[in-house]
Amino acid sequence: MVDTAKLVREFGTPLYLYDLRRVRESVASLRSALPTGTHIYYSLKANPHPDIAAAARAEGCDAGVTSPGEVADAAAAGFPLDECLYTGPGKSEEAVDRSVREGVRTFSVESETDFRRRARAAERTRQRLRCLIRVNGTEAAGGVGLRMSGGPSQFGVDFARVAGLAKSVQDHPGTTLRGLHFFPLTNAKDEESLLEEFTRTLRAAAALRAQGVPIDQLDIGGGFAAPFAVPGDPPVYRSLADRLTAALDEHMAGWRDGAPRISVESGRYLAASCGTLVLGVLDVKKSHGRTYAVLDGGVNCLGGMSATGRLLPLSAVPLEATERAEDKNEPVHLAGPLCTPVDVLGRGTRLPLPRVGDLVQIPNVGAYGMTASLLAFLSHPSAAEVVVDGGRLVSATRLQRERRPIGPPPSGAAPGPDQGRPAGPNPGRR
Ligand SMILES: *Cc1c(COP(=O)(O)O)cnc(C)c1O
């Protein structure tokens, strides 16, 4: 077991502690919840830390990436880039060209304009690019998870226009139509919602296949859930594998022979449980009858996306909350150190009254923790990120924020201290 107190003495707080064993367990558990042979993309968006990504790679996942930075992280983690899937509603020519030069070949196509960019990139780089058309499904929104398609959306191509776009992709000499990409929801409420969504996806894909759209790869997306910043285990999907297998048999003839190959994507389910955020208590104070624990990390370390009022309503419950019987615990507001009232991680969380110098541990923050936070807001150093594998220390790093000049120096400006020096590790210009 890891000695958290010892790591804190060495690296300080705030500290993200990641255990690679949990990543491997999560991949195995997702694999067992899916039809035999289902291909899994690890979405680096959830946590691009190279050790975590490498653990997902070692378990046989490919990488789902959305930016040149994630392409670099995927490469550093050992993912073969020609098997990466590059997705996202806005891909600049520069980002795509750079990724193609690095070795990325497969892209999700989100619109006609996005396709024309892909075609031009294929011409410029003289590489044949494989395209999955991202489909915005046909059905109206249901009450599950966070839906990302079915109505007006910046994601994907409306169902009615997919067949026409598929033809353009096939006809262009620089592009190959690999198949279809769906990602209609994230963080599904339960197994039923997940299966319902996959079934809708399979119906839509089958309808497009019947219209003549060839499908060598069908990426049915994901939506696999996990607790966020509260104690608990990721859901176990007991009947999903059997029922999804049946749905595939019904709608996607050939899938058992890999025609089409079936893929899913997951960030949250694979990475959430590996991470714990350890924070130090800087102050404990009462105000108008309410108890505040002021921690040394807040929305600059965790939950910045919630502070924006979007996604994952944050109400962190530390592990300490489960240590004693409920009735002995007290409601505590968990505040961060930032000078803004949005910097609250938990409100009225019942836990043993913390004391100055105590540690508070927020579990299940391996996904959408660190890099989904307001990292640069108020300019504190970012949290330490310490990776262990069971009891063994693997790495300890800190993501750095730095400002570098870009472009030529403004005319008439006196040369800065860095300018004119040979390019070192932190060159003044490109
Ligand atoms: C965000 C995203 C994912 C990952 O979602 P999780 O909820 O972390 O599993 C996968 N695919 C696409 C296209 C996404 O935008």
Please write the tens of the pLDDT for every residue from 149-168.
Answer: 567 788 888 888 999 999 99
C-beta 222 within 6 A of ligand 1: yes
Question: Going by DSSP bridges, is the β-strand pair 175-181/217-219 parallel, antiparallel, or unpaired?
Answer: parallel
Q: Which of 86, 266, 311 most suits a substitution to test ligand 1, by most atoms within 8 Å of the C-beta?
A: 266
Q: Which of 67, 183, 194 most suits a substitution to test ligand 1, by most atoms within 8 Å of the C-beta?
A: 183
Kindly tell me the sign of the dihedral angle through the C-alpha atoms of 78, 80, 83, 85.
positive
For the stretch 322-332, pLDDT in tens is 665 556 788 99
C-beta 134 within 6 A of ligand 1: no
Nearest one of 74, 161, 171, 169 to 118, comparing CA atoms: 169
For the stretch 353-379, pLDDT in tens is 999 999 999 999 999 999 999 999 999
Q: Note the pLDDT of residue 138.
A: 52
The residue nearest atom 9 of ligand 1, judged by CA position, is 266
Q: Average pLDDT of 98-125? A: 95
Residue in this structure with the two tokens 């997902």, named with its chain if needed: 56
The count of C-alpha atoms lying within 13 angstroms of the C-alpha of 321, restricted to the half-sphere facing its C-beta, is: 22
Report how far ligand 1's centroid is from the alpha carbon of 412 (Å).
48
Q: Residue 308: is its pLDDT beyond 80?
A: no
The rounded percent of the chain whose pLDDT value lies above 90 is 75
The residue nearest atom 12 of ligand 1, judged by CA position, is 183
Q: Within a 10 A sphere around the Cβ of 138, how many other Cβ atoms?
A: 14
C-beta 43 within 6 A of ligand 1: yes
C-beta 186 within 6 A of ligand 1: yes
C-beta 87 within 6 A of ligand 1: yes
Q: Note the pLDDT of residue 415.
A: 60
C-beta 265 within 6 A of ligand 1: yes
The rounded percent of the chain whose pLDDT value lies above 70 is 89
Report how far ligand 1's centroid is from the alpha carbon of 245 (Å).
22
C-beta 183 within 6 A of ligand 1: yes
Q: Give the nearest ligand 1 atom to 265 CA.
A: 10
Q: Residue 88: is its pLDDT beyond 60?
A: yes
Q: Average pLDDT of 298-318? A: 70
**DSSP strands (E only) in 76-221:** 85-86, 106-109, 129-136, 146-147, 157-158, 175-181, 185-186, 217-219
Q: Note the pLDDT of residue 428.
A: 39
- Give the bridge partners for 146, in sequence order: 186
Q: Residue 209: is its pLDDT beyond 90?
A: yes
Please check whether the domain covering 33-266 is classified as CATH 3.40.50.300.
Answer: no
Kindly tell me the sign of the dihedral angle through the C-alpha atoms of 55, 56, 57, 63.
negative
Cα gap 179→202, rounded to integer Å: 13
C-beta 175 within 6 A of ligand 1: no
Q: Note the pLDDT of residue 404.
A: 94
CATH topology of domain 273-398: Lyase, Ornithine Decarboxylase; Chain A, domain 1 (2.40.37)
- Same CATH topology for 33-266 and 273-398: the answer is no
The residue nearest atom 11 of ligand 1, judged by CA position, is 265
Q: Note the pLDDT of residue 142.
A: 41
Q: What is the mean pLDDT of the chain?
A: 89
Q: Note the pLDDT of residue 378.
A: 93
Q: Note the pLDDT of residue 140.
A: 38
Cα gap 55→78, rounded to integer Å: 10
Q: Note the pLDDT of residue 158.
A: 87
Q: Note the pLDDT of residue 326.
A: 59
Q: Residue 72: is its pLDDT beyond 50?
A: yes
Q: Residue 195: is its pLDDT beyond 80?
A: yes
User: Per-domain residue ranges for the chain?
Assistant: 33-266, 273-398
Q: Residue 422: is its pLDDT beyond 90?
A: no
Q: Residue 381: is its pLDDT beyond 90?
A: yes
Which residues have C-beta within 8 Å of that of residue 30, sequence separation ≥ 6?
40, 224, 264, 266, 269, 270
Q: Residue 427: is its pLDDT beyond 50?
A: no
Q: Average pLDDT of 72-86? A: 97
- What the block records as the tokens of 338 is 């930032």
Cα gap 212→216, rounded to integer Å: 13
Report how far ligand 1's centroid is from the alpha carbon of 266 (Å).
6
What one-character DSSP code corresponds to residue 81?
Answer: G
Give Cα 139 to chain centroid, integer Å: 25
For the stretch 2-42, pLDDT in tens is 899 999 999 999 999 999 999 999 999 999 999 999 999 99
Q: Average pLDDT of 209-233? A: 95
For the stretch 93-110, pLDDT in tens is 899 999 999 999 999 999
pLDDT confidence of 144, banded at 50, 70, 90? very low
Cβ-in-10-Å burial (0-12, 13-18, 19+) of 355 comes to exposed
